Amino acid sequence: MASEEQFRQLPSVDELALSLANLEARFPRRLIVDECRRTLQDARAAIRAGRPAPQALAHAVTAALEFLAAPSLRHVINATGVILHTNLGRAPLPGSPAPGPYSNLEYDIAQGRRGRRDSHTSPLLERILGRPAVMVNNGASACWLALHELAAGGEVIVSRGELIEIGDGFRIPDIMARSGARLVEAGTTNRTRIEDYRNAITPQTRLLMRVHPSNFSIQGFTGRPSLAELSALSRETGIPLYEDLGSGCVTDLTSFGISEPLAQDSFKAGADLISFSGDKLLGGPQAGILAGRADLVKQLRSNPMFRALRLDKLVIAAMETTLRSLLLERWDEIPALRMIRLSPEEIHHRADRLLRQWDHPDAELIEGESLVGGGSTPDQSLKTWLISVSGNAVQKERALRQASPPVIARIENDVLLIDLRTVDPPEETALLAALQAAAR
């Protein structure tokens, strides 16, 4: 139980701040005082809860100030072998330096007047996809904008087996409800026929929607109409066909072990509009891409919420760099595609060299698998070679995270695993230093 004596032993805010006067060369006095007040409030709360108050109050304030002064968003070495690691920023970005303090973000240099910010990316997208396109800030926004503009107040028909959750609790039915469109489910969880769509059509139907299962797989007694069948129904009824592709592959990766439908093939099959993410198999920064019929894309651009969902200049700069590399087929300039294209032999050569440099008795090379990740290509993996480290895996993994830069590895069956597929060669020196420190 808290006693008055415990409270009286605490210094005042001014006393604590005075003891830290030496920090005023690095931190504003106002911030020092605020953190002293916050630390003392925590100490009083601890006393009231029957816990001992921290003794080193000055140290606690100093630690809080150092935390505020240090960057929170940091470079980490991804040694997990998961290429599109959602927690680590999904697609690793290509080199995309900011275009300077000022740029022609919304300025037409040739005409000397205001321009449009998507003029830097739309021409590249159109040449890659063969259709006009716009971008918003992520895939969920793209889906919402399509539904809000094209189906608000009306009905959208979706197969019951495609009502997915796209991550972090965001579900297609919830996005649809917020868009103002009404969901009409067709078929069953495992099987949907074209007749189910046809029978669900009413005078209020505004869109036929298909959702690609990029982050899940249903196996067994399953079936759904082909995109070509849905396209035929769309043409017959005059109701547009919209496909949410999710991961948005625009490069054929089948020769590297990844089977994912190409965005361009959706148009060949008859889709009127598609959407997909920019930071998955496209290999760029976070964005949501919408492409398709010129009249539909024009509608989307005119929606008042298009401005609210638009991209920042840094994202546009990174996306322009990515799209130009895709268009010019410079695959190795896009880190995610470069990692996917790495052969097991290349990874074995690098891992073996690192292992020889480390010379650790409890480490060996074993065959394994890398994952694309990021809600893409379920049930598909890439052959790789792993550095396997026996011993206390949890302790070693924690030690690697405390390195500078932090190294993020994975643990399987109580064994620490390092996959160089997702480690850039220039990072290997830092990785080696972190492994040596963790072993100590």
Question: Is the torsion defined by CA of 126, 129, 131, 136 positive or negative?
Answer: negative
Q: Say which amino acid occupies 416.
A: L
CB 374 within 8 A of CB 84: yes
CB 372 within 8 A of CB 258: yes
By the 10 Å C-beta count (0-12 exposed, 13-18 middle, 19+ buried), 142 is classed as: buried
* Cα 119-122-128 angle, rounded to 5 deg: 150
Q: What average pLDDT is seen over the chain?
A: 91
Q: Is the pLDDT of residue 212 over 90?
A: no
Q: Say which amino acid occupies 265.
A: D
Residue 185, Cβ neighbours under 10 Å: how many? 17
Mean pLDDT check: name the lowest of 92-96, 160-164, 216-220, 348-352. Answer: 216-220
Residue written as token pair 């300077």: 100
pTM of the model: 0.88
Q: What is the rounded CA–CA span in Å between residue 170 and residue 175?
A: 7
Q: What is the rounded CA–CA span in Å between residue 143 and residue 435?
A: 43
Q: Cis ω on the peptide bond leading into residue 405 (within 30° of 0)?
A: yes
By the 10 Å C-beta count (0-12 exposed, 13-18 middle, 19+ buried), 337 is classed as: buried
* Cα 375-376-381 angle, rounded to 5 deg: 120
Looking at per-residue pLDDT, the higher value among 190 and 103 belongs to 103
Per-residue model confidence (pLDDT) at position 376: 66
Q: Is the pLDDT of residue 339 over 90?
A: yes
Mean pLDDT check: name the lowest of 174-178, 201-205, 248-252, 385-389. Answer: 174-178
Q: What is the rounded CA–CA span in Å between residue 68 and residue 325?
A: 38
Per the rule left: phi > 0, alpha: psi between -120 and 50, beta: everything else, 410 is: beta
CA 317 vs CA 95, 124, 284, 334, 405: distances in Å = 10, 13, 10, 14, 26
Half-sphere exposure of residue 282, counting CA atoms within 13 Å on the CB side? 30
Q: What is the rounded CA–CA span in Å between residue 310 and residue 137?
A: 6
Tell me the pLDDT tens digit for each residue of 56-112.
999 999 999 999 999 999 999 999 999 999 999 999 988 766 778 899 999 999 999
Helix (H, G, I), strand (E, B) or coil at 438: helix
Q: What is the rounded CA–CA span in Å between residue 241 and residue 227?
A: 9
Per-residue model confidence (pLDDT) at position 377: 66
Provide DSSP, 252-306.
--GGGT----BHHHHHHTT-SEEEEESSSTT-SSS-EEEEE-HHHHHHHHHSTHH
**Residue 177 pLDDT level (bands cut at 50, 70, 90):** confident
Q: Is the pLDDT of residue 165 over 90?
A: no
Question: Is the torsion defined by CA of 150, 154, 160, 166 positive or negative?
Answer: positive
The two tokens of residue 57 are 């109050």
Share of the chain above pLDDT 90, in %: 76
Phi, psi at residue 183, to the nearest 5°?
-80, 130
Per-residue model confidence (pLDDT) at position 260: 86
User: Starting at the edge strand that comes first in sequence, how are the strands of the sheet with 273-277 ordered?
Assistant: 133-136, 288-292, 273-277, 241-246, 205-211, 155-159, 182-186
